[in-house]
Each structure stands twice: as structure tokens, then as C-alpha cells.
Amino acid sequence: MQIQLPNIPNEPVPISFRDGITLHIKREDKTHPKVSGNKYRKLKYNLQEAKRQGFTKLITFGGAYSNHIAATAAAGQLCNIETIGVIRGDELASKIAQNPTLQYAASCGMKFHFVSREAFRKKHTPEFKIYLENIFGKYYYVPEGGTNHWAVKGCQEIITPCDTAFNFITTAIGTGGTISGIINASFEHQKILGFPALKGYFLSEEIKKYAEKSNWKLIHQYNLGGYAKINDEFIAFLNNFYQKTAIPLDPVYTGKMIWGVIDLIDKGFFPKQSKILAIHTGGLQGIYGMNQKLEKQNKNCLIYENEIG
Ligand SMILES: *Cc1c(COP(=O)(O)O)cnc(C)c1O
């Protein structure tokens, strides 16, 4: 089985910046109508490998709003491989109908196995693997977030020879697989800036496991205090950005990255005439869950929920 993913063209972001700086965006969220962004890139070679090794089942791990869970479910359905999602939080078993991510994954045929937070923390142990094998039989293993050697190989295909004109490439980071692929595929004159969505995680070590070059840097000050943390000002920024550009950003990853890039441009971080390419890694399904939360708190929601298909 060969999975073909398109090369995504870069679009200019229609905002004028100081110092002759330009910003383009690579809309990886448009990679596939059902499996958005970097997650399909990360799964591509894993799915091919699972098939090649004769597996009929794939197990992976994630939280209740995980883009990786949604993408794995959809990609498994496309490639005809059964998917099982081990989900953090056993209280969620009775709440599938209220959770847009789990509902979507279930509609793609994913089966769930809910575990407590303590059990979830032990998911990488050999005991847990045996435990899962006793329930589900032989399966192909994809770690939480999807990062492994094959995922990095898939993400190397995000960058193409059409991207040589840029001197900065920026991306959001979760586990570090996507930026590692981008680093490996980048050109010598380019600097890769990563914006971690999580706080206080040993990311540099993770990236060094996979990255073959050192032309990268992490920028930590735009995570708003941690994973999926937001504030009113940030939500207003996302809505304003959408109104100006018609580009929808997700509030967990790409939104914080673009927010950071624009703030850094405004503060003079980038040299004059810099050509910046931001990677839109997708994740738009996360908007539904975020809007549910905002609505409950009587806050302003993301206005483009209905525009994201
Ligand atoms: C998962 C995800 C990332 C982070 O990718 P990693 O390879 O885990 O670093 C970035 N953006 C979006 C939208 C994602 O869903």
C-alpha cells in the first residue's frame, strides 16, 4: 500500500509587517479533508509499515481532545486498518456523545479503551503492552502524539524545493516529531523556530534524537502557561486574524505559533526583509472542544467554527 499526500503550496498572509518582512503560510491543514495536517504525514509511513508487516490493528494513545486520536481514526478508516484508541481518563467512557473529538473518532470506526490517569502514565511499560495484547491480540504500536522514526520521515515531506526562498520556517511543537522532519528537510541557510504548546517538557532532547542539523531554536514564551491554556486576549487575536486573512488557526498549536511569530515581528526579532514561512499543522477539529469550553464559561467563542468543514 502506498499513501500519496499532496504537496501543499504556500500562501501569502495578507498583512503588512514592518521592515519589509513577509509571512507565508503552508496550509497543511488542507492535506486531506478528513485527516488534517501534520498528523497524516506522521501516520503515513506507520500505516504503510503496519500493512507491510501484516498487522490488521493499530493501537495508539491520547487525551479527550487529541488531534492525533482524531487523525488516527480517520486515517485508519481510509487505509482499512482497525484502530483502537487508549484514552486518558476512565470518566470519559460515559461521555463520548458530549465530546466532539471522541465522537468523530468513533464515527470513523475507532474503538476506545479508557484507562485511569495513573494507568495512562504507565502506557510505555512492557507490562502495559502485554496487558493490551491480552485484550486486543497483536497490534501495531503508535505512541501518544505519533512521534517515531517513521513519523519524522513523513514530516520531512512537508518541506519541498519550492520552499528554498524562505530564511525562517516556524512551526508549533507538541512531541517534536514534526519539527524534526522539517529540520531534516530544511536548507542550510534556513533557521527553524519551534513554538512548544507544552510547558516544561524535555523537548530539546527529544528533537536531538531525530534532527540531523542544528539550525533550530525553541521559543517558549507563547504557550500561555501550558497545553491548551488560553485567555481572552488570545481568543480575540485568533478571531481578528481570521477576519483579516480568512485563515482559521487552532487554539492549541498553530494559533499560539502565529501569535508568537507576529509578536516577534512587531518586537523587531527578525532581521529586515526576512521571508518567513509558517507551517499550518492543522488541528482545526480542536476548535469544537474549545468552543464548548468557552461557551460554558460565557466567553467569546472562535467565530470560524462553521467554516472549517
Ligand atoms: C500534534 C500537533 C502538533 C505537534 O506535532 P509534534 O510532532 O507532536 O510536535 C502541531 N500542530 C498541530 C495542529 C498538531 O495537531
* Predicted local confidence at residue 207, as pLDDT: 97
Q: How far is the CA of 210 from the centre of ligand 1 (A)?
A: 16
* Predicted local confidence at residue 82, as pLDDT: 98
Cell (9 digits) for 228: 491548551
Helix (H) or strand (E) holding 195: strand 191-196
3-state secondary structure of 89: coil
Residues known to be catalytic: 66
Ligand 1 neighbour 281 (Cβ under 6 A): yes
With the most atoms of ligand 1 within 8 angstroms of its CB, the residue from 153, 171, 173 to mutate is 173
3-state secondary structure of 68: helix
Ligand 1 neighbour 36 (Cβ under 6 A): no
* Predicted local confidence at residue 201, as pLDDT: 72
Sign of CA dihedral 151, 250, 28, 100: positive
Packing angle of the helix pair 177-185, 203-210 (nearest 10 deg): 40
Q: Which residue has the cell 502485554?
A: 130
Q: How many CB atoms lie within 10 A of CB 191?
A: 16
pTM: 0.97
Q: Which atom of ligand 1 is nearest to the CA of 71?
A: 15
pLDDT (tens digit, 9 = 90+) per residue, 159-185?
999 999 999 999 999 999 999 999 999
Q: How far is the CA of 43 from the centre of ligand 1 (A)?
A: 12
Residue pair 45/153 in contact (Cβ under 8 Å)? The answer is yes
Ligand 1 neighbour 76 (Cβ under 6 A): no
C-alpha separations of 11 from 7, 107, 233 in Å: 13, 32, 26
SS3 content of the chain, % helix, strand, coil (to 5): 45, 15, 40
* Those residues with Cβ within 8 angstroms of residue 135's Cβ, 6 or more apart along the chain or in another chain: 113
Cell (9 digits) for 215: 539550525
Q: How far is the CA of 230 from the centre of ligand 1 (A)?
A: 17
* Those residues with Cβ within 8 angstroms of residue 141's Cβ, 6 or more apart along the chain or in another chain: 58, 59, 60, 129
What stretches in the chain show pLDDT beneath 70?
A: none
How far is C-alpha 309 from the chain's CA centre? 18
Ligand 1 neighbour 250 (Cβ under 6 A): yes
Packing angle of the helix pair 177-185, 38-52 (nearest 10 deg): 90
Q: Of the candidates 219, 189, 184, 182, which has an alpha carbon nearest to the alpha carbon of residue 203?
A: 219
* Predicted local confidence at residue 61, as pLDDT: 98
* Predicted local confidence at residue 36, as pLDDT: 81
Q: Which residue has the cell 504500536?
A: 141
* Predicted local confidence at residue 277, as pLDDT: 98
3-state secondary structure of 158: helix
With the most atoms of ligand 1 within 8 angstroms of its CB, the residue from 170, 281, 288 to mutate is 281
C-alpha separations of 31 from 37, 64, 75, 116, 261 in Å: 6, 23, 12, 34, 23
* Predicted local confidence at residue 299, as pLDDT: 97
Cα gap 105→102, rounded to integer Å: 5
* Predicted local confidence at residue 200, as pLDDT: 74
* Predicted local confidence at residue 15, as pLDDT: 98
Residue pair 85/101 in contact (Cβ under 8 Å)? The answer is no
Cell (9 digits) for 19: 521592515
